[in-house]
Amino acid sequence: MDKSNILTSLKKLKIVAVVRAKSVDEAEQTSSACIKGGVKAIEIAFTTPHANEVISDLTRQYNGNTSVIIGAGTVLDEITARIAIISGAKFIVSATFSKKVALICNLYGVPYIPGCFTPTEVQNALSMGAQIIKIFPSSAANITIVNELQGPFPQSDFMITGGVNIKNVNEWFSHGASLVGIGGQLVGPGANGDFDKVTENAQKFMQLVEKVS
């Protein structure tokens, strides 16, 4: 899948599961539980021990399944970005914008979704080729932030991460979000080994966002 197809697929999938785990096994089982429940875009945070191994294992496991997209999160520098990409990450996400990370992603043709919160940060990210901008932390923002940012940047797609839950997920979409990243509200039970609950959470979120046009 090339960069354009990955971006299109992410927007169609609507939800990215943000997986932060204490071990490789927990991360892999949590990711598989999300996929089983219908959330098929997985962001493996590099705060997870051996995150590159998780990405590599999941990439092999779902090889040939084009509906599943494995990416990397909490990518703060170009070295981590390259490790993630050569491990199989199909997209790169960060809490901040980094020109060096953008350049590496551009070199390898991998979508970069940087975290931004101000118009200046959004403009800097767009100027370096970012096509989806992550609003983070969205829990600190008003629900109208996407509408406001789409005023000066109407060509941009925005991903909401931080504070997204069952009650407000569709409200974010109704206010202009193209996709959302969900962590604890989706994958939290995985920390206690309750992977069936993760699957149940994924199903509930997907039932809601399937109604979004």
* Residues 70, 66: Cα–Cα separation, whole Å: 10
Q: Supply the residues annotated as catalytic.
A: 43, 134
| H or E, element range at 7 | helix 3-13
Residues 6+ apart with CB under 8 A from 144: 175
Torsion from C-alpha of 89, 149, 166, 204, nearest 10 degrees = -50
CA distances from 127 to 8, 133, 156 (A): 20, 12, 12
Residue type, 49: P
